[in-house]
Structure formats: structure tokens, C-alpha cells
Structure 1
Amino acid sequence: MLRTKLSAAAFGTVAAELIAALTRHHGADPARLWGIVAAAIRDTGTDDAPHLLRDPLPVKATTAMRLAADPSTMSGHCWRTRWRHTHDAQHLHGPGRAHRSRPGRARTRPGRRLPRRPAGGRRHRRAAAARRAGPRRHPGRRPRRAARVRPGRIPGRRRRRPGRPARRHRRPGFAAELRNAVVNLAIAMARPQAPIGDGPDWQAIGWERLAVAGHNLHPCGRTRLGWDTGDVLAYDLETEQTRVGFVAVRDELHLGDDVWPEIKSPAGWTVQPVHLWQRDMVLPARYGDLLRDRSLIVLDDEVPAVPTAALRTLLLPGTGEYLKVSLDIQVTSTRRSISVASTRNGPAVSQLLHRLVAAAPGGDRLLLMAETAGAAVPVGSGRDLSAIRRDGLAGRLQPGEQAIPGGALPFLLDDLVGGDPAGWLRDYAHLLLPPLMRLAAQGVALEAHLQNCLPTFIGGRPHRLALRDFAGLRLHLPRLQAAGHDINLWPGSVVGTDDVDVMRAKIGYTLFQAHLGEIVLRLDLDETQAWRIIREVLDSCCTGDDHAAFTAPMVPHKALVRMRLAGDGDVHLPVPNPLHAR
């Protein structure tokens, strides 16, 4: 029994998971790896080695245990023989867990081997034939009477039990998102701290890893639907380093800039960066025809990269730049592929922001991490092979200046706020509000939540504000034109709007609720006093209808849980505004 317990834990879980991950992500030969394990066992020379190498090897059948055990006691063990030799690769049934159950296994009592039942047997064929034939009625049986309908009932509509959510709010997908987020949070908390390289950008990623739960408001901040455990270990934020791959795209399929001219391509082709997971999992499944006719060619070139909290955005060490590439997994509420519009609007929006900031008083307190190039491959969804190149912070900070991602600020306030928290908050509000309100008055509502802001500090005091990722901002086109600015957006872009309330909702939610609201909660300061300080700073830099909107008695708040339950896009609920009363 002791040997069986050892073999199940050591080989059924630990070694199997490791070998499956090496096979999938590094192309290792599983038979060779299991041979190494078997050789190591034989080299021990212990009496246990023959038992561990015997054929067949028992593996704990946990599902059969739950099915066969006495429900009142849930006791008993059921072991089944699964593998042949530990150096045989036949136990690997595709990616994921190496000891995944085989199809066609029936229940049995503890102690007996589970019989094989071929999939698609007579029972399955009979069931399929019955479904095709439709409902049967006995020749001598009278047809059923029509069901009686009680007064006030609608025929065909089932009544909902009191207290049970409406059917449209019973989404099993949300439960799966929560489970996935919990599992990935546990993995992140269990992983050792990855080393941090030199430079402000790499150090910023090190700070980002403090926010292990992910998004500060979203209930599924660690959701990575589409990744298995091996993918999380290879590509998530806690991974020390990964790589970026490249594909060659025929020019007639390529739309936009040459994002990576460092790799020379032959005439008629353009090199496009791609996330390794996207290259290995999405391209073969969706674009096999383009790979076969060589409209797309997977290149051997790869460059080192470091994942950021955004996952699809990766730092390129030594370059001072980032790449944002399509990653078709769901993180929080959104699949992280990139639209054609984002790739074409990014450089144009960056140029517009540079013009606005340069002309504004105090513009030197804003550091724009500009999007310098963008391209897409408009095949399939048009979102699977997009890439955007972005400036970093290397060489742009002053001596003693430290850039800290907003997501890490709640965990560093005790170190940054060395004296009066009220004075520190006033300085921080003066850093944020004047430039962002000035841009809003000209028609630009930046998505200023914690993840997109990197405030800089000197000696713990707020100094400058670095801003990144402009894909989610809103541009009020009439205000821009009135201020003498124009921009050519990609047709159908959601970033441009004629509705001023849409623009205000973007900056209001991200700046006041998601950003400053989190800082207020974490400061050692009375909330009423904290919001009074923010209101005083807002009064000094915002006027007119914008001021009235941001200080209204009620403001719209994004209902993240309700959005996931309903699945109908953005949902906002009115909430009391702490900026209303002074």
C-alpha cells in the first residue's frame, strides 16, 4: 500500500504533469523523458524499484471511487491498472493531465478492475436511433390530453421559484470564469518570485507582480480562459521570461506598418510579431489553409520577452520598447485579441496626444508611452495576428525618479507616504486631475484606471505621470474640432463619439472610481476627508458642464458582476457620488 501511494503521487501527478508540459511546450520526446525517470528509479538500487517499474502500474481512480463508494461514508479505495511501463509514452492522451480518464469506463465496486466498454457501442447506437426516430407512442395508448393552464399563466412558460435568479442571469459560464480565476490565483500565489532585470520598465513589471489578484475591482481578475496550467506557467505575469515569435505574411494580406523591420523579409512579404501561444495554438487551428499555401509562414526567429500584467503586452529587454500582440484568451471580461482599428488608430492617437500635451501648460509632467507602429492581418476574424509597437520608459526618467504601475500603488502606500497622508493625497490629485481634465475639455477622455497609469515618484512624492495603452480612450469629435484638432480614425472605430456623456463616463469611471477610489480606500485617512481633498483639487481645474457631471449627486458605476451574468455588454448602475458633497 505504501508503494502504491508513492507511485500514484510521484508518477501519476508530479512526473506526469512535468513531462506533459515539457512535451507540449518544448517539443520533448515523452518516451525519452519516461526512460530517464525509469533509469533514475533503477539507479536507486532499492527494493522498491522493481515494484515501481512493474507492468501494469496501479493508478488511483478518483472518479470511480466517488461513483462506487458508499454515499453515507464515502470510504474505500479503488485502484485501476493504467500504464504499462513507466518508460512507455502510451499513457499520454493529449495535452493536459497525463492521468486523464479514458472514455468508455463503467462503474464498478472497489477492488475490481474497470471493464472496457467500446465507445459508440450498441447502447449508444440505439440511443442515437431513438433520437432520430422522435417520440414513440404505443398503438393502443390514448393520446395525452392537452395540459390545463391555470388562470394568469402563460402557456409554455415555467414559473420561477421565489428567490431564484431569472434565467438570463443564470450563466454557467460565469461560474466557470470564477473557478478559473481561483485556480490561477492559487497558482500565482504558489509560484516563487521571478527575478527582475535592470531598467525602469523591467522594474515596473516587478512592481506589477505585487497585485497578484489582478484587476482591483473585477471578480475575475485572474481568469485566463483558454489556457491550461502549462500555459499559465509558461506565459503568465509571474513567468520570468518568455519569447515572441514571428510569421511572414504576404503583402496582400498585411495591413499597416512594418512593426518589426529588424528581421529582413524577402520581397512580397512582411514580418509580423506573434505571441508564442497564438502561433502554436491558434494559427494551425484557424489558418491551416494559409499555412499550407504559404500565405503565412511560421519563422524560426524568436526574441526574448517579459510578460506584463496585460499578458498580451510584452517587454522586449534591452530595447526599451514593448510589443502588444493578439492573445485570444479571455482575461477578466474580454478576449485579448486586437482589432484592426486599434492597430491603425494607435499611432494616430499617439501623435494627437503629443500635440495636445506639448501645447498645454505643465505638459512636461506627462510621459506618453506612444504607440509607434501597428499592423493587422485581416483574415478570419481580423483580430488574430495584430501587433502594436510601443515606447517604454528607458532613458526618459530623471535621477532618483521611480515609475510605479498604478496597480501596485495600493501595496506600496505605506512606503511612499512617509508623512501626512492628506498632503500626499493632495499632491497625487494635483498630479492626476489638472492634465486629465484639460485633455477632457479638449475632447480626449483617457482610460486612466490603475493599470494604464505609471506615476513616478522622487523621494516618495508624486512627480510625473506616465500613460500607456490608448486603445480604450474616447474622443469627443466636436470638442476636438472646436479646439482646432482633427484625426482620421479607422472606419467604425468605437473610440470616436459625438456623445459627450460617453466621453465623460469613460474618464469618470476609470479616473475617480477605479483609480482614486482604490487609493482612498488604502490610505490611512478618513474617506470623507479624502474625497473632500480630491473635490478641492477638481474645483481648481474643472469647470462648466464637466464639473457638474463629475460632482452630480449620482454617477454611473460599471456593474461588473451583473455584466458577466447578463452577458449583454456594459451595464451601469447609479451610485452616490462622494464628490457631490464637500
Structure 2
Amino acid sequence: MPRPSPPDTEAAFAEELSVVRPGLSAPYAEALPGARAAVLTRLWRALACEPLPWIARRDTDGEGLTLRLTDGRRLRGPLPDPYSTAAYVSEVRLGERVYDRPDVLVDALGVPHGGAFSAELADSVASLALSRADRRPDEAPGPSEASWAWEQRIVDGHPYHPNCRARPGFSVAEQLAYGPEHRTSVRLGLAAVDDALVTGEWPKWLRDGERTLIPVHPWQVAHVLDAPVQEGFAGRPLMSLRTLAVPDGPHVKTALSARLTSSVRDISVYSVRTADTVSAFMEEMAARLDAPLHITRTLGAATAGSPDLAAVVRESPDEYAGDGERCVPVAALPLTGLPGKPSWLAEFTRLVLTVGLRLLELGVALEAHGQNLLVVLDRAGSPVRLVYRDLADIRVSPVRLGRHGVPVPPLSGRIVTDDVTALRRKLFGSLVGGALGATAGSTTALREALEGVAADLPRTADLAALLGEPLPVKALTLMRLSPETPGDLWTRLPNPLSGPGAS
């Protein structure tokens, strides 16, 4: 039985926009075709590369890719480049019908759990069009501006996730008020908690006598929390939306019980409980590494015993940029124009892989994607050191630490593993499949960068796997279509050194 027609999210956005910001109505309409292509390209990458159970076979003929579905239908589109960040898929053909809207395509596929995913795709398209409608191409951060200014220039969100801009539960007015790409300032509330769990040194300016003041995002106040909050302080939202840069101060990560891309962005009690230990351990590891890597220290973490009411305060990455230097999130590097220079891309690739592989050999796998990883550029634009933030999803191997005489920190739970596959997935999937792939922007550019630096990298067993095996990356669409399966699911992309195309 065919599904009922979904509500038209694009039209709903247009209707609300005509009321709250009518000046953006025309730019929004003009941005919709490009936003559809951008999300459809990400979706096609997933269909071409992920182990989706309703795809029986993939056939290439030199001109395109045909997916043979288990029900006998055929879906055809262009040959995929799994590392491309260009929107090169404007339409695909299912049977005899052409589709240019990713949400309508998923509805037509009729796959399990497709209804919820289709709604998210529609929201991603409309939100992306809204973000693009409000951008100012001629406005760019100056050479000495703070890293948050770079983050607020990132318009398109996750480079490979079809839900790159999905913000279900956010109205148009709320997106304009809270989205970093709209160059806004957001005023947080403060919830006074009597018996909060606190680790680290909670700032004095976030205390009221014996009570702990936990910063709360205004969306959380409006949609989730029942507790009253008092007026707090303003901050600049970063690309994660729920983390804000306090003027001339630290970064504050808030709980946000909304699904953005794949995950609900709350803060677990486990993360708060381990925050200080993990931060101290990683500071020691960075010092032991004797490499150009800095860790933004977690200053304090607090929770009221619920993932819906918690916060983390950490150093600003700008602390590690000297005079004349700038600290840029890796996700923003394409905005600088530097990755277009092959020599620069090779230099950057050498830096990040050397640091990542040496740390992995010691026993720590970073989740070094374009949001967590920042690079400090000198006056000439050369990458001179790395800054890593948000330690909640690293992995630590006690066996590898012991092998190098490093004391094992008192940690437990998901952060601890000696599984070689899990460790390599964490680093390679985020750093090569995410940060480097998106910075290079294509299989060809990524291959050339890797070929140019392979001989200079630390000779470890991990390097041999990186250079010689298919690349593990998260199966982002499979995860969204598998709500009954907790945790990460994975796929393998063709190794960039073995040529373009999907396996």
C-alpha cells in the first residue's frame, strides 16, 4: 500500500520565512535546487557505498552506477566519488521515473524506517537552503579573528551526511536565532542546581553560593526543561550549534536534546563523571608525544544527574595561536583557499597523519573530524600545529599504553578498548574519511596528497593498514535506517591510493 504524501517541508519553511524574515524568501527559493542536489549527492554516496540490506548488487558501466534492489527495481545515477564534496548529483532514476528530491526518492524506495529518514532529509534540504540564503559570500574572517568567526562561515554542515543540515524540532525563527551560520549571538540561561555532580574546577562565575549554575541553551528551555532558569550570558554559537564561545573567555558546551545529523546532542552523566580524568590524561599524552598537538583543557563539567541538564566548560582553542597566527577548524579550511594548492594539502596531510598515527601507536585514537580538529596557521598560511577539542568520543587502549610504559588512566566504559579494528575505525574514519577527504574534496586530490607524504609517515602496523586496506567510515545512512541497532555502524570505502570509484 503506498504511503501517504509527506508534508511539504520546503513549502512550510517558505511560509514561515515570509513572516519572520521576508527579505530571505526569494534567496531561499533560489537556493532550493542547489540544496536538493547537495543532499541528494550525499544520499547517493551512501546508496553507492553502504551495506544497505535492500540493495542486492551494484553495477558500473563506465558512464554510471546501477543499483539492483532486492525487489527487482533498478536505481541509476552517476559514477560516485566517495570523497567528493561537490554537489554533482542533481537527479537519479528509479525505474522510469526521475527524482531530484532526496526525501521523495526515499519515500519511493519504501524501505524500512524510511518515513522518519525521509522527513529528516526534507528538513535537511530546507534548512540548507535557508542557510545558503542567508550567507554573505563577500564576508570573510580577517587574519587575526577568533576561530568562532571561521565556524560561523561554514554553511553546508557535515560534508558527507545526508542529514547535513537536519534540525527537526527547530522552527525557521529558531534556526535564524540559534544557527551559527546566521552569525548570531545567543543568550544562555542559568539553571541553579543544589546537588550537582561537578568534576574539575567549575568556574566561580557559574556559582551562586553553594549552588551550581548550569548554562542552558534557550531551545532546551523552551522545549525540554520544566525547571526555571535565570538570565545568563551571551555567546557565539559554534558549528555544533550547542557549543558557544564566550567573548574573551572559554567555550561552553550545553545539552541539547534534539537530533542533529545522527545523534541527540545531550551530555551523559558518564561524560561529566570522566571529563576531568580524560582531560588530564590527554594533556599528559600530548606532552609525551612531543609533537605539534595541543588539547583544549576541560575546565569543568557539571550535571544535575540528567543528560538533559548538563554542561562542559573548556578552553578556547585560540589559546594556542600566537601573534600573527590564526586557529581554523579543519571544516573551515576550504574557505581559506589553501587546500587548492597541492603543496599545502600535502603539508597539512603530513602534519595530521603524523600526529594521529603516533598517538594511535601510543594508545589513543582521536575522533579527528573537521569539527573536533583545528589547525594553527602561521602568517604565510602554513599549518604549524594542531588543536583538538571535545574528548568525549576518543578511544584509549590499555594494552598499547602499557606497551609504551604509559600509566593507564582510571577509566572504564566505551572509551576503553583494545580492539584494533575499533581503534583504527575511530581514527581513520574521522581523520582520513572525514577531515582529510573533505579538505581535499575529491578522490584524486586525496590520493595525490597521500602519495606525496606516505614515505614520511611513522612506519607502524597502523600505517600499513591505512595505506593498503579499504578505508573504514561510518555508514551514516544505514545508522539512520537502523534505529533498533545502537552504536556506530560501518562501511568501507575504496582506498584513495587504489583509484576512484565505490566498491
The Cα of 1:339 is off from its aligned counterpart by: 0.8
User: Match of 1:535?
Assistant: 454
User: Match of 1:566?
Assistant: 482
Counterpart pick for 2:115 among 172, 197, 208: 172
Distance 1:396 1:550, change over 3 A: closer
CA distance in 1, matches of 2:161, 2:170: 19
CA distance in 2, matches of 1:519, 1:13: 35
CA distance in 2, matches of 1:468, 1:432: 15
User: Match of 2:408?
Assistant: 486
- Is this contact kept in 2: 1:455–1:462, CA < 8 A? yes
Q: Percent identity?
A: 30
CA distance in 1, matches of 2:17, 2:173: 13
Structure 1: tracts of 5 or more residues without a match: 1-11, 20-159, 285-290, 292-297
TM-score normalized with structure 2 length: 0.72
User: Match of 2:186?
Assistant: 242
Q: Considering only aligned residues, what root-mean-square deviation do their CA atoms show, in Å?
A: 2.9
Residue-by-residue CA offset, 1:453-490 (whole Å, 9 max, x unaligned): 1111120211111111111111112212333222122x
Structure 2: tracts of 5 or more residues without a match: 1-14, 23-69, 75-107
Distance 1:163 1:429, change over 3 A: same
Question: 2:440 matched to 1:520?
Answer: yes
Task: Map 1:214-253 onto structure 2 (within 5 A).
Answer: 214-237=157-180, 238-251=182-195, 253=196
Bigger-Rg structure (1/2) = 1
Question: 2:297 matched to 1:373?
Answer: no
User: Match of 1:163?
Assistant: 73
The structure richer in strand per residue is 2
Distance 1:411 1:376, change over 3 A: same
CA distance in 1, matches of 2:471, 2:321: 37
Deviates more, 1:479-488 or 1:254-263: 254-263
Task: Map 1:409-448 onto structure 2 (within 5 A).
Answer: 409-414=333-338, 421-448=341-368
What one-letter code is carried by the residue in structure 1 that aligns with 2:391?
Answer: F
TM-score normalized with structure 1 length: 0.63
Task: Map 1:122-521 onto structure 2 (within 5 A).
Answer: 161-163=71-73, 169-191=112-134, 193=136, 203-237=146-180, 238-251=182-195, 253-257=196-200, 259-267=202-210, 269-284=211-226, 291=227, 298-319=228-249, 321-361=250-290, 363=291, 365-378=292-305, 382-414=306-338, 421-458=341-378, 459-483=380-404, 484-489=406-411, 491=412, 493-521=413-441
CA distance in 2, matches of 1:301, 1:574: 48
- Is this contact kept in 2: 1:254–1:270, CA < 8 A? no
Distance 1:189 1:197, change over 3 A: closer
Question: 2:459 matched to 1:546?
Answer: no
User: Match of 2:51?
Assistant: none
CA distance in 1, matches of 2:150, 2:233: 23
Aligned length: 399
The Cα of 1:522 is off from its aligned counterpart by: 5.8
- Is this contact kept in 1: 2:199–2:276, CA < 8 A? no
The Cα of 1:447 is off from its aligned counterpart by: 0.7
CA distance in 2, matches of 1:14, 1:576: 42
Q: Alignment partner of 1:262: what SS? A: helix
The Cα of 1:257 is off from its aligned counterpart by: 5.0
Residue-by-residue CA offset, 1:300-351 (whole Å, 9 max, x unaligned): 23111110001111100122x1000101111101111111111222221121
Distance 1:161 1:387, change over 3 A: same
Distance 1:485 1:221, change over 3 A: same
Distance 1:536 1:517, change over 3 A: farther
Q: Relative contact order: is structure 1 or structure 2 higher (C-alpha 8 Å, sep ≥ 6)?
A: 2
The Cα of 1:494 is off from its aligned counterpart by: 1.2
- Is this contact kept in 1: 2:147–2:317, CA < 8 A? no
Distance 1:528 1:506, change over 3 A: closer
User: Match of 2:100?
Assistant: none
CA distance in 2, matches of 1:508, 1:275: 33
User: Match of 2:105?
Assistant: none
- Is this contact kept in 2: 1:260–1:272, CA < 8 A? no
CA distance in 1, matches of 2:324, 2:364: 31
- Is this contact kept in 1: 2:254–2:267, CA < 8 A? yes
Distance 1:366 1:330, change over 3 A: same
